[in-house]
Amino acid sequence: MEKKVFKLFGWDWKDFNSLAAGSLAGHLVECGAQVTGGIFTDWDKVPDWDHIGFPIVECASNGGFIVTKPKATGGLVNRGTVSEQLVYEIGDPEHYMLPDVCCDFSQVQLDEFDTPDGTAVYVSGAKGHPPTGEFKVCTIYPSGFRATAVACVGGVNAKAKAEKTAEEILKRQGVRDAVMWLAVQHKDKKALEFFAKEIAPAGTGMAPGLTNIIGGRPRVNPVLKMFSFLYPRNNVQVDIHMNGEHVEQYQFPDIPMSEYMTQNVTPPSRVVETPLPGGDYSFRLEELAYTRSGDKGNSANIGVIARHPDILPYLRQALTTEAVESYFSHLFENKSVPSHHKIQRYDVPGVYGLNFVLHDVLGGGGIASLRSDPQGKAMGQMLLDFEIKNVPNLVEKIEKKYRR
């Protein structure tokens, strides 16, 4: 948090609610145009991507703020775009831990309103608690090498051709269109250099219809993995240097600390379930909710936000941890791990949402992964095909809401 903001608003480092509100404002605008319509579930309703407006937050001293964008720019600001970004990669919404504050975003309220330049959203209700006595330390270490080859295959049986071509290339080393994604990892760089030389011969000696090797011969890159741990903040000394000279030693604010313990963390989904009226309708999740997904290391975060508050209980009923685990079963690396260690579900009632954290589903995550989606960006989109069955006409609630 910028010191000038504290001075302007008269905030104090012990005013944890204000710290949480300021942190939420930063969280919403940190990823380019994501809060102004970028990667939005209803992407087809977002105008003018070619000059999309980046977000603006107009903050008040009480911690509330307005999310908007510059005049005469593309993009979209509404409850959906803001709620999607709010749940983006937050893990436990009641314990979003930062160095200065532990944030509770579970009861944040979003109020959409019209302006002469389009819609804007007023955000309020962020709560804060003392931070923990530790800092999170992330270290990076080398772990071998990797290479990825991507090739287009056309014609009939394209998928089968791509699979067989990939299998034969690896064997040599030890729809109507398809893309073959062939990624390998090895501790020895020379082994992958041999692999890279075997891709081009596939165009003349393997399946017909292999039309293009994207990017040419695969390049061998180092694999870098991350290891994280907690370290006592009292043992950390921060020295600031400018132009090779020591300027000052930073002094941490004198604020209370809370101890991070398992029993302090929110039990997932504490809401008591009640029987719901059934019906003869079935809907794809996309018809009833927005989704947004991302990563934290080797874990994926999927937020689901109901399009109408009355829909949330049905989402809770259908999207159990067991159902979501089964839906993404092909991504979990260790099938023998108990379910409660694989996936957690958290409630975000302020925005009518649920937040899922799926552990060890990204093949190592980031640049350590061999997968085409190493950061889980497509997992929310994949979940949109989940079918909600035997319910009343829930879409009618959404239509009535927007007819008012």
Which tokens in the block code for residue 81?
């775009």
Digit-coded pLDDT (tens) for 189-225: 999 998 888 888 887 787 788 777 888 888 999 988 8
Q: Is residue 346 part of a domain?
A: yes
* Residue 173 burial by Cβ neighbours in a 10 Å radius (0-12, 13-18, 19+): middle
Tell me 52's DSSP state: B
CB 115 within 8 A of CB 30: no
* Domain contains 274: no
Residue 237 belongs to a domain: no
pLDDT in tens, 76-125: 999 999 999 999 999 999 999 999 899 999 999 999 999 998 899 999 99
Residue 84 domain-assigned (yes or no): yes
pLDDT for 288 equals 97
Confidence band, pLDDT 50/70/90 cuts, at residue 262:
very low
Whether 122 and 8 map to the same domain: the answer is yes
Q: pTM of the prediction?
A: 0.84
Instruction: Look up the domain containing 203 and give its range.
Output: 139-224
Shared-domain flag, residues 219 and 99: no
Provide the pLDDT for residue 180: 82
Contact 249, 238 (CB under 8 A): yes
Average pLDDT over residues 372-383: 92
Burial of 389 (0-12, 13-18, 19+ CB in 10 A): exposed
The band of 364, judged by pLDDT with boundaries at 50, 70 and 90, is: confident
Q: Is residue 203 part of a domain?
A: yes
Select the more confidently predicted residue: 239 or 268: 239
Query: Does some domain include residue 369?
Result: yes
| Residue 160 shares a structural domain with residue 93 | no
pLDDT score, position 264: 47
Same domain, 215 and 299: no
Question: Is 241 within a domain?
Answer: no
Q: What are the tens digits of pLDDT across the range 178-196?
A: 678 888 999 999 999 988 8
- 158 and 104 part of one domain: no
| 95 and 51 share one domain | yes
pLDDT of residue 402: 52
Domain endpoint, select from 224, 251, 271: 224
Q: What CATH number does residue 202 fall under?
A: 3.30.70
Instruction: Please tell me the number of Cα atoms within 13 Å of 14 on its side-chain side.
Output: 4
Place of tokens 């931070």: 131
Element (H, E) at 112: strand 109-115
Question: Same structural domain for residues 328 and 390?
Answer: yes
Which of 66, 98, 131 corresponds to the end of one domain?
Answer: 131
The verdict on residue 238 lying in a domain is no
Positive or negative, the CA dihedral 382, 387, 392, 393 is: positive
- Sheet containing 127-129, strands listed edge to edge, beginning at the edge strand earlier in sequence: 96-97, 102-104, 127-129
Same domain, 348 and 301: yes
Q: Which of 81, 93, 128 is nearest to 350 (CA)?
A: 93
154 shares a domain with 99: no
Residue 64 and residue 168 in one domain = no
Same domain, 205 and 311: no
Examine the domain organization and report whether 86 and 155 are in the same domain.
Answer: no
What's the domain count of the chain?
A: 3
- pLDDT band with cut points at 50, 70 and 90 for residue 263: very low
3 state SS of 358:
strand
